[in-house]
């Protein structure tokens, strides 16, 4: 089992979700976050004074999958989130030790889907 965390452009979320749906990955947790990587921050102006390098709005998505679903999920996220410009984001993959469905108490792969 793997745990996937991806940080993407906020406006690409809808397309990522559609791609995930097409790959039959329906469980997802989404959080609005701020961050900055190679894409520099944005400049805003308040009463004539520039404020440099504000953090950019991003969206963090988290998905737990069984091993056979790992590659299709990564592909779906990349397909949906890629614009080709700096700032498209990153995907991180972790080993996932276990998982429990609260309602039934099921564990492991059964609890994920």
Partner 1 sequence: MEVNGGDTAFVLMSAALVLFMTPGLAFFYGGLVRRKNFLSVLMQCFILICVITLQWVILGYSLSFGANSLGGLIGGLNFLGLSGVGMEPSPDYGTTIPHLAFMAFQGMFAVITPALIIGAFAERIKFSGFLVFMVIWATLVYDPVCHWVWGVGGWMRNLGALDFAGGTVVHINAGVAALVMALLIGKREGYKGGPFTPHHLPFVVLGASVLWFGWFGFNAGSALAADGAAANAFVTTNISTAAAGLTWALIEWKHNGSPTMLGAATGAVAGLVAITPACGFVGPMAAIPIGAGSSALGFVAVAVIKPRLGYDDTLDVFGVHGVGGVWGALATGIFAQKSVGGTDGLLFGNFHQFGVQAVSVLATIAYAAVMTFVLYKLVDAVIGMRVTKKDEIVGLDISQHREAGYTVLE
Does 43 sit near partner 1 (CB under 8 A)? yes
Inter-residue contact 12 to 81 (CB < 8 Å): yes
Does 22 sit near partner 1 (CB under 8 A)? no
The CB-of-106 to partner 1 minimum distance in angstroms stands at: 33
Instruction: Give the residue, chosen from 24, 40, 44, 110, that forms a contact with partner 1 under the rule CB under 8 A.
Output: 44
Rounded distance, CA 12 to CA 34, Å? 15
Nearer to partner 1 by C-beta: 86 or 102? 86
Query: CB neighbours (10 Å) of residue 44?
Result: 11
Rounded distance, CA 89 to CA 24, Å? 22
Does 52 sit near partner 1 (CB under 8 A)? no
Inter-residue contact 81 to 15 (CB < 8 Å): yes
Does 31 sit near partner 1 (CB under 8 A)? no
Kindly list the residues in this chain that would bind partner 1 in the complex (CB under 8 A). 11, 14, 32, 34, 42-46, 54-55, 57
């Amino acid at each position: 089992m793997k745990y996937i965390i991806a940080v993407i452009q906020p406006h690409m979320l809808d397309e990522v979700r559609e791609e995930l749906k097409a790959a039959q990955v329906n469980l997802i947790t989404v959080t609005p976050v701020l961050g900055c990587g190679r894409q520099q921050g944005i400049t805003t102006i308040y009463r004539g004074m520039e404020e440099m390098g504000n953090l950019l709005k991003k969206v963090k998505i988290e998905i737990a999958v069984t091993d056979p679903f790992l590659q299709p999920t990564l592909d779906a996220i990349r397909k949906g989130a890629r614009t080709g410009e700096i700032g498209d984001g990153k995907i991180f993959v972790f080993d996932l030790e276990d998982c429990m469905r609260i309602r039934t108490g099921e564990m492991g792969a059964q609890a994920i889907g």
